[in-house]
């Protein structure tokens, strides 16, 4: 971890209730049958992880990205999700009974085998395929310039991991464009690039982390 390498975390069948993390990126996490009841997750990214049969009842998820993550048989009853992204997850038999949502995206997700999900909830958007957007050259340049800095590139939010950071993650840009213009994104990315200190912008792990930055920078309501 001191070398900046993601270390997979594994834990199963713990009887002790656990607290939700914040400002973290977990890669290939493997957890099973754990309790995260009435806790709080904020600005957390799970990539290529297995999180199965876990109890998240009455838990708050603020700015959490589940990327290619197995969430089979998880209990999300009465949970609250805000500014979260589910990208190609396995949600088979996951239960969202009485869960609430605000600005939540399910991308390339099979929702047919999810329990108690309201697909017509206006606070949920179900998206498929690839986004049909054309980016201005200035926006492309600002993104690629920003991702020359390791703290923005290594978490593969603005670029795709499959391309080893060489291609822009169009879905994340698409989601940001729901709230901000291409001109605003370009200006904001340039600001992130120029305002680079050892203590600034350390926790850019998720869609939400960029959404929050732009909202504050342009003084828009979250």
- Asked if pLDDT for residue 3 goes beyond 60, the answer is no
What is the CATH architecture assignment of 10-127? 3 Solenoid (2.160)
Judged against a pLDDT cut of 60, whether residue 1 lies above it is answered with no
So what's the pLDDT on residue 159?
97
Q: Which residues contact 197 (CB under 8 A, 6 or more apart)?
A: none
pLDDT tens figures, 14-45 = 999 999 999 999 999 999 999 999 999 999 99
CATH 2.160.20.80 maps onto the chain at 10-127
Q: Give the tens place of pLDDT for each residue, 120-159.
A: 999 999 999 999 999 999 999 999 999 999 999 999 999 9
The three-point CA angle 82-222-129 to 5° equals: 55
What is the reported pLDDT for 111?
A: 93
DSSP 167: S
Q: What is the pLDDT of residues 162-201, one digit of tens each?
A: 999 999 999 999 999 999 999 999 999 999 999 877 778 8
- Which DSSP helix (H) or strand (E) runs through 143? helix 137-146
Give the Cα-Cα-Cα angle 202, 206, 210 (nearest 5 degrees): 70
Give the predicted TM-score (pTM) of the model. Answer: 0.93
Q: How far apart are CA 222 and CA 202, in angstroms?
A: 20
Closest Cα partner for 105 from 86, 128, 122, 133? 86
pLDDT at 107 over 90: yes
Q: Which residues pair with 115 in a beta bridge?
A: 95
């Amino acid at each position: 971890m001191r070398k900046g390498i993601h270390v997979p975390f594994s834990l199963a069948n713990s009887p002790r209730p656990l607290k939700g993390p914040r400002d973290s990126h977990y890669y290939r996490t493997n957890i099973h049958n754990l309790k995260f009841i009435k806790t709080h997750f904020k600005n957390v990214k799970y990539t290529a992880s297995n999180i199965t049969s876990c109890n998240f009842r009455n838990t708050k998820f603020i700015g959490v990205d589940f990327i290619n993550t197995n969430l089979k048989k998880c209990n999300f009853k009465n949970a609250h999700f805000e500014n979260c992204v589910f990208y190609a997850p396995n949600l088979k038999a996951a239960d969202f009974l009485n869960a609430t949502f605000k600005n939540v995206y399910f991308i390339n997700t099979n929702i047919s085998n999810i329990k108690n999900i309201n697909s017509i909830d206006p606070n949920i958007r179900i998206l498929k395929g690839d986004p049909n957007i054309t980016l201005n050259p200035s926006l492309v340049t600002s993104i690629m310039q920003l991702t020359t800095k390791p703290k923005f590139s290594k978490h593969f939010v603005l670029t795709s991991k499959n391309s080893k950071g060489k291609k822009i993650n169009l879905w994340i840009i698409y989601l940001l464009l729901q709230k901000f213009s291409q001109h605003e994104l370009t200006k904001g990315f340039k600001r992130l690039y120029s305002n680079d200190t050892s203590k600034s912008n350390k926790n850019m792990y998720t869609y939400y982390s960029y959404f929050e930055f732009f909202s504050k920078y342009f003084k828009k309501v979250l």
